[in-house]
Amino acid sequence: MLTPDDVSAMLRQASLRVTKPRLAVVAAVDKLPHADTESVIAAVRAELPHVSHQAVYDSLHTLSDLGVLRRIQPAGSVARYETRVGDNHHHLVCRSCGAVADADCAIGETLCLTPSNTHGFRIDEAEVVYWGLCPRCADGDASPPP
């Protein structure tokens, strides 16, 4: 759970300005985990009707770089954002409707970060995506995304 004060402190510490659009973006993502940019824009405009899409895009980038938000983008999906950061959790993605759910790491953080052959890469993160069908799509097998 992120309070506006937490976010303000992090922004200030990085010499970034504390603006209404930025706080509203964090609040929106916190309320709608895994939301895409369009949903974030809509949620932000519920509070601040005149915010431009560009301000939201910019805020999402800035906050992701800062580490306040995490950006995920499964193949074939638009960018999605969440406030759960730094806890090594992964994602379940539905092949049919694109729904995303959280999954805690089955193994250990260290093991996850150790492939058998690194080819000289300096690895800093292991991202896992579990592909499958969400409960709804697995049941009534024909639910194409609207």
Partner DNA sequence: GCGCCAAACTTGACTCGTTCAAGATAGCGG
Partner DNA sequence: CCGCTATCTTGAACGAGTCAAGTTTGGCGC
Question: Is residue 39 within 8 Å of 90, Cβ to Cβ?
Answer: no
Taking the CA atoms of 14, 19, 24 and 27 in sequence, report the sign of the dihedral they define.
Answer: positive
Interface with DNA, residue 78, by CB under 7 A: yes
Question: Is residue 35 within 8 Å of 96, Cβ to Cβ?
Answer: no
Interface stretch with a copy of itself, choices 2-10, 18-26, 43-51, 91-99 (CB under 8 A): 91-99
* Site size with DNA, rule: CB under 7 A: 26
Interface stretch with DNA, choices 31-39, 95-103, 106-114, 125-133 (CB under 7 A): 31-39
Smallest gap from Cβ 96 to a copy of itself, in A, equals 10
Sheet containing 70-72, strands listed edge to edge, beginning at the edge strand earlier in sequence: 35-36, 80-82, 70-72
How many residues belong to the chain?
A: 146
* Site size with a copy of itself, rule: CB under 8 A: 43
In the chain, the amino acid numbered 44 is V
Interface stretch with DNA, choices 19-27, 97-105, 108-116, 128-136 (CB under 7 A): 19-27
* Pick from 41, 39, 144, 43: nearest CA to 98: 144
Binding site for a copy of itself (CB under 8 A): 71-73, 75-76, 79, 90, 92, 94-95, 101-107, 111-135, 138
Binding site for DNA (CB under 7 A): 11-12, 16-22, 36-38, 50-55, 57-59, 61-62, 73, 78-79
